[in-house]
Amino acid sequence: MRGFLALFNTRMKELAREPEAVFWIFVFPLIMAVGLGIAFRSTPPQPSRIVVAAGPGAARLASMLQQDPQLRVITAPSSEAADGFRLGRYDLVVTAEGADAAMQYDPARPESVLARALASQALERAAGATAPLAVSATANSAPGSRYIDFLIPGLLGMDLMNSGMWGVGFALVEMRQRKLLRRLAATPMRRGDFLGAVLASRLVLMLIDLVLLLGAGVLLFHMRVMGSWLAILLISTLGALAFGGLGLLTASRHEKIESATGIMNLVMMPMWVLSGVFFSYERFPAVLLPWIRLLPLTAVNDALRACILEGAPLHTQLGRLAVLAVWSVITFAAALRIFRWS
């Protein structure tokens, strides 16, 4: 215990004395959250951009379309209209055909599909059509259902993974490269104490990170944290341990930073894509889903989202917590076995 505490203390001191580390650990995730939050903030819907190909009857169509404030209507020569549509400047091309209208839209672009629907409606209404049925609708963008609400727990999970893997892995490979590990192996230091202290020091930083990120979500984006902070803390701790263990394992043999970097990316890449950081992993084929759910980042993201967004109590998340616990134990035990001290 004395050895562990001494190692933990010195590790914390070292980290605190490393200005770059402090930047990467604390400032970077915040910049990222703020940047993405701004990019994906809830904005009033953009008007659909419609181009009317110039020709006989174009002016009439344009004025009919302009009666709908959700449409922005431009008249342009037909070749320019076609080019603009192809390049994505316009969502829809409308051409007059006698008294009728022809539309050109792209079914693969949601905004184009929307423009077509709105434009048809506007033209029909302007031509005198009446609705056979009254439908009322109210707008609802309450906190909790926005993209930013989905994103922040994912960012938290990703941040746990990045800082766990890089923080633990890099530090160890670097110590091996400077032969410090070899020197330590020549002392009676308990090896588990050492690896445990490296993990634990990282854990503390990750938890500070967590509070910063989630705090930014609450303050800047008015996120609502539905579950208990204690549950969030516990999920994150287990996640941090799992990723720390994974970092330990990936860094357990490499002597050079360069080769370690490659393998770390190899381990993290699938999780960036599969584990639902930026979009829901339910989009992947159903046969893959059970496997995707076994990845530690998926377990962290799912548990954090359930807790933060739905207020799910901790006992409903036991399966995901078990996934994380298993990853922590297996990676730590394996790392301890195959770890190279020189």
Partner 1 sequence: MSAAVVCRGLRKTYTGGRTAPVEAVRGIDLEVGEGECFGLLGPNGAGKTTTIEILEGLLEPTSGEVEVLGLRWKTSARQLRQWLGVSLQETRLNEKLTVEETLGLFASFYRHPSPVAEVMAALALNEKASSWVGKLSGGQRQRLAVATALVGAPRLLFLDEPTTGLDPQSRRQLWDVIAGFQRGGGTIMLTTHYMDEAAQLCDRLAIVDHGIIIALGTPTELIARHGGEGGTLEDVFMNLTGRRLREQ
Q: List contacts with partner 1 (CB under 8 A).
A: 2-3, 5-7, 10, 13-14, 17-18, 178-180, 182-183, 185-189, 342
CA distance 78 to 95: 8
Write the single-letter amino acid at 114: L
CA–CA gap between residue 173 and residue 163 (Å, rounded): 15
Neighbours of 235 (CB within 10 A): 30
- Residue 181 CB, nearest distance to partner 1 (Å)? 10
**Strand 71-76 and strand 48-53: pairing?**
parallel
3 vs 84, beta carbon nearer partner 1: 3
Cβ proximity to partner 1: between 20 and 282 the closer is 20
Q: What is the dihedral of CA 55, 57, 63, 65, to 10 degrees?
A: -90
Q: How far is the CB of 11 from partner 1 (least distance, A)?
A: 9
- Asked if 77 and 54 count as a contact pair (C-beta separation under 8 A), the reply is yes
CB 250 within 8 A of CB 264: yes
d(CA 123, CA 138) in angstroms, rounded, equals: 23
| CA atoms lying within 13 Å on the CB side of residue 291 | 8
Report the length, in residues, of the chain: 342
Which helix (DSSP H) or strand (DSSP E) does residue 52 occupy? strand 48-53
What is the rounded (10 degree) CA torsion for 307, 313, 319, 323? Answer: 50
In the complex, minimum distance from the CB of residue 185 to partner 1, in angstroms, rounded to a whole number: 7
Shortest Å, Cβ 12 to partner 1 = 11
Q: Which is nearer to partner 1, 5 or 38 (CB)?
A: 5
Rounded to the nearest whole angstrom, what is the least distance from the CB of residue 192 to partner 1 in the complex?
13
Structure tokens at 321: 């917590």
Q: Which is nearer to partner 1, 18 or 100 (CB)?
A: 18
- Number of neighbouring beta carbons within 10 Å of residue 161: 28
Give least dist CB 178 to partner 1, A: 4
Least spacing, CB of residue 176 vs partner 1, in Å: 11
Choose between 10 and 42: whose C-beta lies nearer to partner 1.
10
Residue with smaller CB distance to partner 1, 185 or 257: 185
Residue 86 or 183 with smaller CB distance to partner 1: 183
Minimum CB separation of residue 341 from partner 1 in Å reads 8
Angstrom distance (rounded) from CA 221 to CA 129:
42
